[in-house]
Amino acid sequence: MRHTTFTAAAAIAAILMVTGCSTSTIDKTKTTAIQPAAKDIDTSDLAQGKAQFRDANYGLAEQHFRKAVELKADNAEAWMGLAASYDELGRFDFADRAYSQLLKVAGRKPQIVNNMGYSQLLRGNKKKAKVLLLEAKAGMADPTVVNANLALLNKG
């Protein structure tokens, strides 16, 4: 009786192994044909950086702007956002590097010079801030933002 039970169990196991291990009927095209998401990571990170900056989440903004410039080193808008994020985080050493790169990418534009002046204002360098803000004001068609920064400078 024992021999019959063992033989029957062995036969069932052999049948299950033969029928259960067959992979030739599995359609692999549905699982292996997944295409990567088609999106512009640079644009996505730039948009996320701007959104985080507007919400005063400067650490998250910095991460997104940094990723955007790593993916596209000539993106002036991302460099500007990165520098401004560093300013708000008080990382002026990194802000200076970002402004330096921004000047190489975009040139010395009034809006950039205004931000550099505001950076100096945040650091307490009033003389340097004033020089930069006046330079920016001279080149801007609408100096409203620069005038607000100059008013902040004169308050302190």
**Helix (H) and strand (E) counts in the chain:** 9, 0
What kind and span of H or E run contains 90?
Answer: none
**What class does CATH assign to 40-107?**
mainly alpha
Mean pLDDT of 136-150: 95
Do the beta carbons of residue 81 and residue 53 sit within 8 Å?
A: yes
pLDDT for the residue 37: 47
Q: Where are the domains of the chain?
A: 40-107, 108-156
Q: Which residue has the tokens 């992979």?
A: 23
**Looking at residue 3, what is its pLDDT?**
58
**Calpha distance 153→82 (Å, rounded):** 23
Give per-residue pLDDT as tens, 103-122.
999 999 999 999 999 999 99
Query: What is residue 38's three-state secondary structure?
Result: coil
User: What integer pLDDT is reported at residue 14 of this predicted model?
Assistant: 59
Report yes or no: 114 and 140 within 8 Å, Cβ to Cβ. Answer: yes
Angle at which helix 110-123 crosses helix 126-139, to 10 degrees, equals 160
The pTM of the full predicted model, rounded to 2 decimals, is 0.72
Instruction: Say which residues have a Cβ less than 8 Å from residue 136's Cβ, sequence separation at least 6.
Output: 110, 111, 113, 114, 117, 143, 146
Instruction: State residue 8's pLDDT score.
Output: 61
| Residue 74's pLDDT band (cuts 50, 70, 90) | very high
* pLDDT given for residue 150 in this prediction: 95
Mean pLDDT of all residues belonging to the chain: 85
Tell me the per-residue pLDDT of 24-39, one tens digit each, with 9 for 90 and over: 555 555 545 544 444 5
